[in-house]
Amino acid sequence: MSTAQIMTFSALLMLLYFPSSDPVTVTTSKAKVEVHENTNAVLSCEFRTEKDTNPRVEWKKRGKDVSYVYFDGDFTGSYKGRASINGATMTLRGVTQKDSGVYHCEVTARQDKIKLGEVTVTLNVLVPPHAPSCEVPETVMTGFSAELRCKDKLSVPAATYSWYKDNKPLHTASLPEIKYTLDPKTGTLKFKAVSKSDEGQYRCEASNGVGAPKSCAGRQMKITEFELNMTIVIAIEVGAFLVLLSCCVAIWLCCRRGCCRCCRKNKRETKQSRTKTSYNPPDPRHYKHTQSFVL
């Protein structure tokens, strides 16, 4: 027997008497899964064990707390009736935004030397745009500022926004002839000083590339001129007169009741002055006349 044959035979004997001790291994064919809302999501989980032919499979979802999805051969909670498992691969039917998150597949092989293996799968459920909520002021005076707001809180990924005036798109670029600023990320449309030409119907459109764009209903913004007519002038003058009269009456009452410090001081000074004025010292000649009479 040649040396090569002897070495091959020895290697075969080692494999027979010392079998491989590979630990349980768990893998996934897709670590990040993105699907549209109300469709099915397949979370892949594949395993290989050393000896155990019937390992225990568990699925968990991690967030603020850890919750079981598949435990002890059955689905839990809201997953019952809409989830299935094949081997260790799990399928969720009719997913919503609430199903988005990080999932862990754990395989426990009790007969293996290394008994536990796990893999992580991230699920992101894409949600098409919804009709955004729009805020458009009904009336703005010429020369005043105005701010129009638009928001879609439900779309995933976050929506970008466009504004239309009388069904014509407004530009987002900063140009000298444009008197407004438009932020497509926040959906805010700002006017520093409106003019009559800014009057019209405004609507906002939200889009995120997942579904068809959605718009809010158009709303009219009216620009008014500030007119100072005689009625307003008379009302202002009357109001100013009444305010001035009220102040005068309040000061008079305060002085009369002695509430005001300066008034109390003036009163004391006046009283002292009167006291000094009313005091008349006796005439010395009177003393002489009195003395002579006594003698």
The domain ranges of the chain are: 20-126, 133-224
Give residue 283's pLDDT: 54
- 133-224: what CATH class? mainly beta
Q: Distance between the two ends of the chain, CA-based, in angstroms? A: 182
Give residue 266's pLDDT: 58
In what helix (H) or strand (E) does residue 16 lie, and over which residues does it extend?
helix 3-17
And the tokens for 229?
């007519």
CA–CA gap between residue 170 and residue 181 (Å, rounded)? 10
DSSP3 helix / strand / coil % (the chain, rounded to 5): 25, 35, 40
Threshold 0.75, pTM exceeds:
no
And the tokens for 116?
């536990």
List the beta bridge partners of residue 1.
none
Instruction: For domain 20-126, give the fold.
Output: Immunoglobulin-like (2.60.40)
Same fold, 20-126 and 133-224: yes
10-residue mean pLDDT profile of the chain (295 residues): values are 51 45 82 96 93 88 90 94 95 96 93 84 96 96 95 95 96 78 95 94 96 95 77 77 83 70 58 54 51 40
